[in-house]
Amino acid sequence: MAEEPMEETRNPETGNEEVRKLVEDVARLLVEEPGQVSVEAFAEDQATVLELQVAPGDLGRVIGRQGRTARSLRAVLAAAGSKLNRRYELEILE
């Protein structure tokens, strides 16, 4: 008789930290001043909000043409959230 795989249990804070680190790493690859990148996570009603802050000159690089890069980052967050059964929102601060 085959055993069913055990469902992996994770600490919610660990998942949030992994997703926060993912956004930070991707943003650092996009900008010219990676030392100015910071991401803070805040728990709100039904989602975790990630606030991304970059140097003023790098803001356009993170947002992208017509918001394409920001939309792609949000799509990655949605995929990570579906795997972790959580909702994430990305706010890019000026």
Q: Dump pLDDT digits (tens) for 80-90.
A: 999 999 999 99
7: in domain? no
The answer to whether position 5 is within a domain reads no
Query: Does residue 4 form part of some domain?
Result: no
Q: Is the pLDDT of residue 5 over 60?
A: no
Please list, residue by residue across 29-42, b when 16 or more beta carbons sit within 10 angstroms of its beta carbon and e when fewer do: ebbeeeeebebebe
Identify whether 39 is part of a domain.
yes
Report how many domains make up the chain: 1
Q: Examine residue 1 and state whether it is found in any structural domain, yes or no.
A: no
pTM value is 0.82
pLDDT digits (tens, 9 = 90+) for 62-75: 999 999 999 999 99
| Listed residue (92, 91, 21, 8) closest to 54, CA to CA | 92
Please provide residue 32's backbone torsions phi and psi, each rounded to the nearest 5 degrees: -90, -20
In-domain check, residue 87: yes
Structural domain includes residue 21: yes
In a domain, 27, yes or no: yes
CATH of the domain at 87: 3.30.300.20
Structural domain of 37: 12-93
